[in-house]
Structure formats: C-alpha cells, structure tokens
Structure 1
Amino acid sequence: MLELNGIRALHAVSATGSISSAAAVLHLTTSAVSQRLAKLEREVGQTLLERHSRGVLLTDAAKLLVDRADKILALVDQTEAELEGHRGAVVGEVSVAGFPTAARGLLTGTLTSLAARFPALSPRVSELEPDVSIPLVIRGDLDIAVVQDWFNVPLNLPPGLSRTELLDDVADIALPAAHPLAARTTVDLAELHSDRWISWTPGSGCYEWLLYTLRGYGIEPRIVHTAGEYATQLALVQAGFGIAVIPRLGRESIPEGVRVVPVQPLLSRHVYAVWRSGGDRRPAIRATVAALSRTARAATP
C-alpha cells in the first residue's frame, strides 16, 4: 500500500524541482525526504527519480504517480477539511508561504496573532516567490500563499483557487542623497529618464515589471546593477551607483545617504492570499486568512 507521506514528498519534488527545495516546503530535512522517496520507490517497485547535475528528473512512472496523486491528495485534503470543519476546532498544522517582504512585513505578525488566539494551531512559514508558491497550493503541498501583482500587470490565477485582498503596497524611489531630486517631496517618473537603475534579478517578475512600466512611460531603462535583496539595492543606491524602486511593505531601515521619495504616477502592487477553493472549510485556514487580514490592516507600508 502506498503511504501518503511518500506521495506528498514526490509531489513536492515535482513542484519545486529538487529534493532540497521539497524538504524546505515540507519542513523536513533533505535526508527525511530522500528516505520517504526511497520507501515509495520500494513500494511501487520502480525508479521514480533520475539524478542529474541540476537536480532530479521524474521518470515516466513518477509522472504517472504525480498525476494520480493530484486526485488522491485533493480527496484527502477535502476529507480532512470536512472532518476539521465538523469538529470546529482551530488545531493541527497550517502551512503559509509569502514573498520576501510579505514574509517580513506580514507573516511574523500573523504568527504572533495566531499564537495568542489559537495555541493548539501549528503554523509553518516559508519564504517563496509566487511562481513557486502558487503551484504548491494547487498541488496541495501548501495551504496558503501570500502573493503579489503590480497595478499594471495583473497576476492570472489558475482555476481552483480562492483569494482575499490584503493590502495595496505603495513603492517609492530611492535616490542617493546627492541626487538633484533627492530634496523633493515627490518626483515625476519622467524626470528619471536619464538615471541608472538598480533592479531585481533578471527573469524575476519584478524585473520584468520594471522594464514594462518604464517603457510604458517612454523611458528606456539603463539597468546597471541587479540584486534580489532590498538591503543590497539600498547599499548600491547609498554608494551612488543608481536609483531603485523600494516598496513600503516590510521595508528595512533606510541607510544614511539615501533619500526615499514618493513618485508620480503612483507605483503600487496588490498583495493577497490564495488557497485551494474549498480549503477554507478547514477552521485552521479560515483562522489564518483572518489573521493575515488583521495584520495587513494594521500594517502601514
């Protein structure tokens, strides 16, 4: 008989592309995930994963099992939700993921709220970008994802997901203190047409959004430096190497020598929580979404 632990492990590997990433999502050690996969291979009597230099590839047998697992785990999740809803208690585990600034600006407060109200609940938090977290929610390997899209580039959610709006997060422009516009109360985006830009890493949604947005206002951006962390971006701004878009949610301390100025037109992103439709029959998911909403209302990004 196939055990659900092994199926969930294979599911997570399929969604994330590696055993180590699957371990992070499942809050297990890499060794524990490998052991579950090895046991599953013994149970099915076939090889499920092929190792290569960039991670692992699923065999045909594994792909078949993952396809069936979607239905199996969906039924298990539905049954657990109905049982938990019938009991009415906010207990057990609930897994939540958020992109980095949401993890810092929303999830910590949400954990605090849940701990105070529901001590029998065991939330587990991961820091994941939407392109990783949304497939995990669809597959049932993650309960809730906090995701974002920008005002002019909406995120198309796949069918089968429910959502609730959390907040609109405004972004400002970070300028070196010596910049000619650093003393302004606001700056027009068109005034930055000749500046050098510091952006997110190429290929990320935010990097593509910045290119799309600036070109939409007639600016061909000169992106000279890229960094995934805002602290690194701000350090580059502080050193005078360019300017950057810095959202307010989860914003770190602004270093000396950097001025953060509001920009016109307003740049903002929508932040919301998503979960599998019907999953909110579980009191744990309802309680966590409510806690996210409370934390978002209290936030002042």
Structure 2
Amino acid sequence: MLDLGRLRALHAVAVHGSVAAAATALGYTPSAVSQQITKLERETRTTLLERRGRGVVLTDEACHLAATARELLAIVERAETTLEERRGRPTGRLTIAAFPSAARGLLPGVLGELARLHPGLDARMTEVDPHLSIDLVARGMTDLAVAHDWDIAPLPAPEGVEQVRLGDDLCDLLVPEGHPLAERGGPVRREDLMGERWICQPPGTVCHDWLIRTLRATGREPELVHQAEENHTQLALVAAGLGVAVIPRLGRGALPDGVVTVALDPVPRRRLYALWRTGAARRPAITVTVGMLRDRFTAPPA
C-alpha cells in the first residue's frame, strides 16, 4: 500500500517545482522531502525524479502518480472536513497563505485569537504573493488564502475555489515633507502626478501593475526610479526625499519622520479576499477563521 505522506511529498514537488519549495510549503526540511520521495521510489520500483541542471524534474510516471495523489488528498480532505464538522469545533491543522502586508497587519491578531479560543486548532501562516496563494489553494497545498486585487486588475477565483470579500484597503500618496503636493491642500488627481519620480514595487506584482496602468491613462509614461518589495523600504526611500509612492494602509504602521500623506481623488483601493476550496467550505476551522478575518479587518482602529 502506498504511503499517503510520501504521496503528499510528491504532490508538493509537482505543485511547487522543486524539493526546496515543497519542503517550505509542507513545513519540512528539503532532506526530509527527499527521503520521502526516495522511499516512494522504492515502494513503486519507479524513478520519480530526474536531475536536470541544479534542479529536478518529475518523470512521466511521477506526473501520473502525482495526479492520483491529488485525488487521494482531496478525498482525505473531505473525510477530515466531515469529522471536524461533526465535532462542531475547529480542530487539526489549518494552513494559511497571506500577502506580506496582510501577514503583518491582519494575521497576527487573528492567529493569536485562534490560539486562545481554539487550542485544538493548529493554524500556520506562510507569506505568499496573491497570485501564487490562490493557485496553492486550488491545488490543495494550503487551506486558506488572504489575497487582494485592484479594480483594473481583478483576481478571479478558479473553479473549485470559493471566496468572500473581506473589505477594501484604502491607499494614500506618500511624499517627503515640504513636497509641493503636500503644500497645495485638498485631494490630488492623477493628472497632477505626472513628472513625479516614483517609488514602487517590482514588475509582476499587482501593486506595480496597478500604478503603471493608472499613470499611463494620463497619456504619459511614469518615471520609476526605485523599486522595492517591502512597503517599509519604500517609506524609507520617500523619507530620504528620493520620490513619492502610493502605499496601502494595511500593515503600513506609523509613518517615519519626514513623510506625509496626501489624499488622492479618486481614492485608490485594493480589495481583500479570503479564499478556500469548495470541498472544505463546511470545515469549522475555515468558517471561524474567515469570520475573524472579516471582523478584524472591518473593525475601526483602536
């Protein structure tokens, strides 16, 4: 009989593309994942991974086995969901993927509350880009995702994945103290932003794509001078007088000295969602956690 844990390891390698990435997703060491795959190869008397350059690729036999593993894991998930539903309380392990500012500004409070109120639930969070986290939910590699999109760059849920909107995260223009836009008073429209030197996230991120599309709508190409993934790095660059940035409020924290906010018209906003697989929709751990996420996000600041 094939070992389910070893099939899970193979499935993780198939989903994430490498042993190291699979180990991170599963919470194991790469060595432990490699050992699981080696044991599965002995069980099946089949070569499952082949070295290619510095990485590995799945053989044709491994791809077929990984597809079967996905079906088996889905059956196990349904069984676990039924058992937890019958108990009527959140139990077992719940894996959560969240984008960086939600991981910093929203999840700590939710995870702390879950630990206090539901000691039988083992909730674990990983910081993941929104585009990747939704795919991880669809593939069964994480139970719940907190993701975001923008009105001009929607992030639809794939088949088999449900979602609920948690609310909207408003954004502000951040400029150095004494900047002309800070002195003029009143909201600033996007037509007033041309000619600015911009600090933003790298290409390929939702925030970067939104900024480029918004500013290009004025008919001119924006000047991107600095690119950084972390909002706190962007704030430090603004504080140094090196440019301006549009940064959401969630997880932003207190502004450093030398940085002021300027209201924008219309106010940019990104939409926050919680997503989970349809097969796990009845699981108490999902419903309780989603409720906490919504309550904490929409609660007025203390």
Common fold: TM-score over 0.5: yes
In structure 1, what is the Cα distance between the partners aligned to 2:80 and 2:232? 41
State how many pairs are aligned. Answer: 301
Contact 2:77/2:279, CA 8 A, preserved across alignment: no
Contact 1:9/1:36, CA 8 A, preserved across alignment: yes
Aligned position for 1:222: 223
Aligned position for 1:101: 101
Aligned position for 1:294: 295
Aligned position for 2:64: 64
In structure 1, what is the Cα distance between the partners aligned to 2:164 and 2:201? 26
Letter aligned with residue 227 of structure 2: T
Letter aligned with residue 110 of structure 1: V
1:213–1:300 CA distance, 2 compared to 1 (3 A): farther
Contact 2:153/2:206, CA 8 A, preserved across alignment: no
Q: TM-score, normalised on structure 2?
A: 0.94
Letter aligned with residue 33 of structure 1: V
In structure 2, what is the Cα distance between the partners aligned to 1:283 and 1:130? 24
Q: Percent identity?
A: 49
In structure 2, what is the Cα distance between the partners aligned to 1:99 and 1:232? 16
1:125–1:244 CA distance, 2 compared to 1 (3 A): same
Matches within 5 A, 1:80-229: 80-183=80-183, 184-229=185-230
- After superposition, the C-alpha distances for 1:269-293 in whole angstroms (9 at most, x for unaligned) are 0001000013022212222112212
Contact 2:150/2:206, CA 8 A, preserved across alignment: no
Q: Compute the displacement of 1:121 (Å).
A: 1.0
In structure 2, what is the Cα distance between the partners aligned to 1:204 and 1:5? 34
Contact 2:11/2:67, CA 8 A, preserved across alignment: no
Aligned position for 1:251: 252
1:235–1:53 CA distance, 2 compared to 1 (3 A): farther
Name structure 2 gaps, 5 residues minimum.
none
Higher mean C-alpha deviation, range 127-136 or range 182-191? 182-191
1:299–1:66 CA distance, 2 compared to 1 (3 A): farther
1:171–1:55 CA distance, 2 compared to 1 (3 A): farther
In structure 1, what is the Cα distance between the partners aligned to 2:5 and 2:218? 51
1:248–1:221 CA distance, 2 compared to 1 (3 A): same
Higher mean C-alpha deviation, range 231-240 or range 44-53? 44-53
1:243–1:51 CA distance, 2 compared to 1 (3 A): farther
- Runs of 4 or more consecutive aligned structure 1 residues displaced over 6 Å after TM superposition: none
In structure 2, what is the Cα distance between the partners aligned to 1:185 and 1:30? 54
Higher mean C-alpha deviation, range 111-120 or range 12-21? 12-21
Higher mean C-alpha deviation, range 156-165 or range 62-71? 62-71
In structure 1, what is the Cα distance between the partners aligned to 2:171 and 2:218? 16
1:205–1:3 CA distance, 2 compared to 1 (3 A): same
In structure 2, what is the Cα distance between the partners aligned to 1:210 and 1:241? 18
Contact 1:190/1:219, CA 8 A, preserved across alignment: no
Aligned position for 1:75: 75
1:177–1:40 CA distance, 2 compared to 1 (3 A): same
Q: Compute the displacement of 1:77 (Å).
A: 0.7
1:203–1:98 CA distance, 2 compared to 1 (3 A): same
- After superposition, the C-alpha distances for 1:55-112 in whole angstroms (9 at most, x for unaligned) are 3322212211122222111111111111221222321111111000011111111111
1:176–1:31 CA distance, 2 compared to 1 (3 A): same
Letter aligned with residue 148 of structure 1: H
Q: Compute the displacement of 1:54 (Å).
A: 5.6
Alpha-carbon RMSD across the aligned residues, in angstroms, is 1.8
Matches within 5 A, 1:224-239: 224-239=225-240
In structure 2, what is the Cα distance between the partners aligned to 1:18 and 1:254? 39
Name structure 1 gaps, 5 residues minimum.
none
The question of 1:33 aligning with 2:33 is answered yes
Q: Compute the displacement of 1:193 (Å).
A: 0.6
Higher mean C-alpha deviation, range 58-67 or range 92-101? 58-67
Contact 1:197/1:224, CA 8 A, preserved across alignment: yes
In structure 2, what is the Cα distance between the partners aligned to 1:28 and 1:253? 36
1:129–1:299 CA distance, 2 compared to 1 (3 A): farther
Higher mean C-alpha deviation, range 97-106 or range 234-243? 234-243
The question of 1:48 aligning with 2:60 is answered no
Higher mean C-alpha deviation, range 290-299 or range 112-121? 290-299
Letter aligned with residue 61 of structure 1: E
In structure 2, what is the Cα distance between the partners aligned to 1:49 and 1:209? 39
